Amino acid sequence: MKNQAAKMIAAIMSVGLLIGVAACEGQVPKPTSSTSAQESPDLTQDQEKAIRQQILSVINAANEAKSADGLDVRMTGPALEIRTSELAIAQATGSLDAKTTIPEDITQTVIPTDSGWPRSVFTITTTTEDQQSKRLLVMNQDSARSNYKLWAIARLFQGAKLPKFAVPDHGSQMGTADDTGLVVTPQQAVEQYADLLQNGSSSQYASNFADDYFRQELTTLTQTVQEGMERNNGTQQQTFSAVKDQIAVMRSSDGGDLVVAQINSEWTRQAGEGRESQPASDAERALFGDGTATSTMKVTYVNVIALYVPPADSGQQITAVGAERQPVKVEAI
């Protein structure tokens, strides 16, 4: 039996948590003509465009077929997990969510000067034709003989200010998860943000971060669902954890790092006594399929978070500038 809490969740989630399909365009600064890196980039802008077009060709073919078969040739990491889920949902519902669109045109690309592997290219698209936000794409190459693959996609928040990067002809330096000279290392920033997502304002790291759209929307959703749960003697719990080694870092001309990382989460909802916990959205229903409902439902999410980590002694807080959130597994437990 569907309880009132499930209906309330469905109503909220049908509107769409995070970014939605409205215009939420981040502010992309003009590239600078200098960089602290001494090397020149090994990739040209024309090569980046060719690589990106090859990736999008494979993705578009998978979209048309509504099948993830062969998608791993050009996608990997959280981008592959998310698109596989989106395609599974499309098979069940008959259409892809509008948020899956990746514009072909770009506003900026950040090409690394690093000559070794693995290496990453950060590219920012234009807005979509229906004025959805710009996408931050992270394309990784694991070795000299391997294809570049789309590793992560994050939709930029409205008003988000990205750091400055050198022009592509000069290139920028890739960072590492352990970069120093920042308010915290990139890895620490991701782990602290996961704690902040889980514990909200009570997190010991709350003061380290500026407010952001992702947390605002998640907090609103959680509070609303909690109200419905309490009316039906139900409970909910969300846990967040940074995924080891799923992080990409690019050093900016401002002295800070732009960090993109994967944070997984589990949302467990338990209905009151004698009630069943049901999928809370079309996406969850599609992933749950013919499963048998019980009193408890657990939904696994993949979250991609883009953070700007400022230099040490800058007086700035860490800021989330973009994100992606997608359910990938729904199960009754």
Residue 147 has pLDDT above 70, yes or no: yes
Tell me, what's the pLDDT at 146? Answer: 95
pLDDT tens digit sequence for 41-56: 889 999 999 999 999 9
Residue 303 has pLDDT above 80, yes or no: yes
Give me 267's structure tokens: 């949302």
**Mean residue pLDDT across the chain:** 90
Residues of the chain above pLDDT 90, percent: 78
User: φ and ψ at 242, to 5 degrees?
Assistant: -65, 140
Confidence band, pLDDT 50/70/90 cuts, at residue 22: very low
Residues of the chain above pLDDT 70, percent: 88
Tell me, what's the pLDDT at 233? Answer: 87
Residue 112 has pLDDT above 80, yes or no: yes
Query: How far from the centroid of its chain's Cα atoms is residue 240's Cα?
Result: 14
CA-CA distance, 142 to 156, in Å (whole number)?
Answer: 26
Distances (CA, A) of 223 to 143, 237, 278, 323: 45, 11, 19, 20
Task: Find, among 307, 93, 43, the residue nearest to 184 by Cα.
Answer: 307
Residue 38 has pLDDT above 50, yes or no: no
Question: Which residues pair with residue 60 across a beta bridge?
Answer: none
Tell me, what's the pLDDT at 177? Answer: 98
Mutual angle of helices 77-93 and 45-65, in 10-degree steps:
30
pLDDT tens digit sequence for 267-288: 999 998 888 998 888 999 999 9
Highest mean pLDDT among 9-18, 24-33, 318-327: 318-327
Confidence band, pLDDT 50/70/90 cuts, at residue 17: low
DSSP state of 2: B
Question: Which residues pair with residue 260 across a beta bridge?
Answer: 248, 306
CA-CA distance, 277 to 10, in Å (whole number)?
Answer: 12
CA-CA distance, 313 to 51, in Å (whole number)?
Answer: 38
Residue 148 has pLDDT above 60, yes or no: yes
Give me 146's structure tokens: 């391997």
Tell me, what's the pLDDT at 261? Answer: 98
* Position with higher pLDDT, 3 vs 114: 114
Tell me, what's the pLDDT at 13? Answer: 57
Distances (CA, A) of 164 to 237, 254, 310: 38, 6, 12
What's the chain's Rg over C-alpha atoms?
20
Tell me, what's the pLDDT at 230? Answer: 84
Tell me, what's the pLDDT at 28? Answer: 47
